[in-house]
Amino acid sequence: MSPNVKFEVVNFGEAERRLAAAPAEGERPITLIAFVGAKLALGGETSTILRDAEPQIARAAAAAKFAGKRGTSLDLYAPAGLDGVGRLLMIGVGPAGDGDNGGASPERFDDYLGLGGQLAARLGQGANAIALFDVPEPPADASAAAGQLALGATLRAYKFDLYRTKKKKDDPEREGASEIALAVAEPEAARAAVDGALGLAEGVVIARDLVNEPANVLYPEEFARRAAKLADLGVEVEILDVPTLQTLGFRALLGVGQGSAHPSRVVVLRWNGAAPDTQPVAFVGKGVCFDTGGISIKPAASMEDMKGDMAGAAAVTGLMHALAVRKAKANVIGVLGLVENMPSGEAQRPGDIVTSLSGQTIEIINTDAEGRLVLADALWYVKDKFKPAFIIDLATLTGAILVALGQEHAGLFSNNDELAGRILEAGKATGEKLWRLPMGPAYDKLIESKFADMKNTGGRHAGSITAAQFLERFVDKTPWAHLDIAGTGMGSPASDTNQSWASGWGVRLLDRLVKDCYESA
């Protein structure tokens, strides 16, 4: 979907010139945004620009009991002393309360990300704004902070209203994109940071759009067509159809989709940003475009949410977009396993035994434990064909992870401590948090089968762990991590940077992982 906020980076001199100029006839009035610290402290540039309005600001702040605390704001309309400004929006960046040692901090990634979200929420849509990025206690890297501000604002402004035909014409939040001129001290560096942040935001928005789409619109073939648009950015795209998958031996994946009228697909995305002999890294996404549970059908309540059971594949698609936009200096493989799990006369049954691409046999105990079957073939294919430095899979895999972690953390499972540690650090840096859970032989025994090499569920106990144990059997000794995002990829709690049902979770996390640890100089 089109962005609801657009950024331009200017210097403070240009901001002053625009504020001094008389608005053209028919032009939207300017909204001036200023960031305010404790006790109404202002940055030097901001203080100069607002000097003629300071008496009114002081009176309004006293009346509204606005003291510049983080998370608060003050609105003044047609402020005296600021000709041409229709609205002055002051956003607090000072300490939020007792025990809070300061305002926005350069050490905390999410401070400026969240600040951008708060800005977008208070600004609304359709505004013509100038934002004075001049906080009272400047961050160590003001340009990077400006990029995070732009990222947070763009993500917060996102709306998925494609199918709403009765939109209120008088709703100010639906008057088109807000245009923000971000005034900074060093425009060139800030412009590069903002451009990079907006490319990342595009990747998150792509993931959100995919997860929000209804399943009658986004089925495997359509998902594959949308992913194929990444070719416009230089990503190599290969789409494997059912005959090809049958020839290759993707029997576990195809078993999941055999009950659906929509044929399955596997999409292979390749970004070649490093030297040809550089070992690639790989990301695999579960893409169950709708999950009824198959013959082991789910309860009707909330089944509509199963349109989001492809959030892992959506995140991989968004990640590949973000990497390509910023021309990441890494070789990256993205694989999407796209199926629809439906009950029909041709559907897979409990008790069936399938032979996976790896040659290992799987007894189907529950057809609703389908995502691990999709991933099993996809993981083996990636491991065997591309021999990556690591594989990370993302999947809305188990309800058990919601019981364990709620929606605050995704579950992390790994056979490699170094990889797991790097993912956890990227999670801390981006605010997309994870919690590592244990694995081991005792859990692995729970998926042993009397009739095949393994069964596709280990029962109620340790459900997320036994699912991870299942996946580990398809990576051999390749460093691997499994991210169970059932609690974070859809049905997202509202936050400063997201008001959407779909979060796009994982795009920022994995982009940061690649950037910090796997790109060549």
Residue 263's φ and ψ, nearest 5 degrees, are -65, 150
Q: Any idea of the CA torsion for 20, 21, 26, 31, to the nearest 10 degrees?
A: -30
Alpha helix segments (H runs only) across 387-462: 400-405, 417-430, 441-444
- In this structure, are strands 480-484 and 410-414 parallel, antiparallel, or unpaired? antiparallel
Instruction: Look up residue 78 and give its two tokens.
Output: 């047609």
Amino acid identity, residue 137?
E
| Choice among 87, 208, 372, 422 that is catalytic | 372
Among residues 28, 108, 298, 433, the one annotated as catalytic is: 298
Beta strands 353-355 and 361-363, pairing class: antiparallel
C-alpha 420/C-alpha 415 separation (Å) is 8
Contacts of 278 (CB under 8 A, 6+ apart): 330, 331, 520
If DSSP codes are grouped into helix, strand and coil, which group holds residue 430? helix
Q: Is 372 a catalytic residue?
A: yes
CA 516 from chain centre, in angstroms, equals: 18
Mode of pairing for the β-strands spanning 178-184 and 128-132: parallel
Phi-psi region of 125 (alpha: psi -120 to 50; beta: other; left: phi over 0): beta
Q: What are the Cα distances from residue 485, in Å, to 145, 407, 491, 515?
A: 28, 9, 11, 22
**Which is it for the CA torsion 15, 19, 25, 30, positive or negative?**
positive
Question: Can you say whether the dihedral through the CA atoms of 469, 474, 478, 483 is positive or negative?
Answer: negative
59 is catalytic: no
Q: How many Cβ atoms from other residues are within 10 Å of residue 250's Cβ?
A: 26
Interhelix angle 507-517/417-430, rounded to 10 degrees, is: 120
Catalytic residues: 298, 372
